[in-house]
Amino acid sequence: MQILPLAAEPLTCPTDRDMLPSERREFVRSHRTCVFGTPRRSDGPAMSIVYYVPTDTDELLVSTMRDRGKAKVVARNPKVSLCVLDERWPFSYLQVYCDATVDDAPDLVVDVMMAIGGRMSGEPLGDDARPFVQAMAEEEGRVVLRCRPYSTFAQPPRHLHSNDQDEQITHWVSAAMPWAADDPA
């Protein structure tokens, strides 16, 4: 498994049709933030905005503290959802349903934290930062949530631009589809 670098340019969603399965996967691989959702015993889901790191094996990696709710819930119930956010207008998002596990391998924890630091700053952290990141990981009791996507649901980016009422605004119905689905022929 290899962590993918931050994409130079995030995928722009089509505004005239639903995303193809391959476009959904590329949207996830080329973005960096999501709303991480886990079920709660009562009330609605717990949600928090996090940075994530995609891998070449299609896992989505999230760094958190072992004692935080995200890690505790994943240990109890592996079903999570990631609402991947586009940071550009018109805002769009892609819901990704995953099976998650908690991984406390020290090298992976530091690798993910380094990659997330690069996503936060917009450029990779230098090797000289690794000892500081490793110390922070140990001090904070960091773990990695390994999220394995199995399904997606797309939200079309349909918005008014500059209050342009003369353009016809259209909407369509999206559908959940398997993560590994092929594009239609």
- Could you tell me what percent of the chain has a pLDDT over 70? 90
**Does 77 reside within a domain?**
yes
The answer, yes or no, to whether the previous bond of 106 is cis (omega within 30 of 0) is no
Percent of the chain that is helix, strand, coil (3-state, to 5) = 25, 30, 45
d(CA 172, CA 185): 21
pLDDT in tens, 141-156: 999 999 999 999 987 6
- Looking at residue 41, its amino acid is R
Flag whether 85 is in a domain.
yes
Q: Is residue 56 part of a domain?
A: yes
For residues 47 and 5, what is the distance between their CA atoms, to the nearest angstrom? Answer: 26
The domain that holds 97 is classified in CATH as 2.30.110.10
pLDDT tens for 19-53 read: 899 999 999 999 999 999 999 888 889 999 999 99
Q: Please report whether residue 110 resides in a domain.
A: no
Q: What is the pTM of this model?
A: 0.90
Q: Say whether pLDDT at 164 is over 60.
A: no
Q: Supply φ then ψ for residue 35, to 5 degrees.
A: -95, 120
Per-residue buried b or exposed e for 110-119, using 16+ beta carbons within 10 Å of the residue's own CB: bbbbbbbbbb
Cβ pair 79, 101 in contact under 8 A: no
- pLDDT of residue 173 exceeding 90, the answer is no
Is 148 inside a domain boundary?
yes
CB–CB of 110/135 below 8 Å?
A: no
What is the number of domains present in the chain? 1
Does 4 map to a domain? Answer: no
117 domain-assigned: no
Q: 84 is in which domain, residue-wise?
A: 21-103+144-156
Is residue 43 assigned to a domain?
Answer: yes
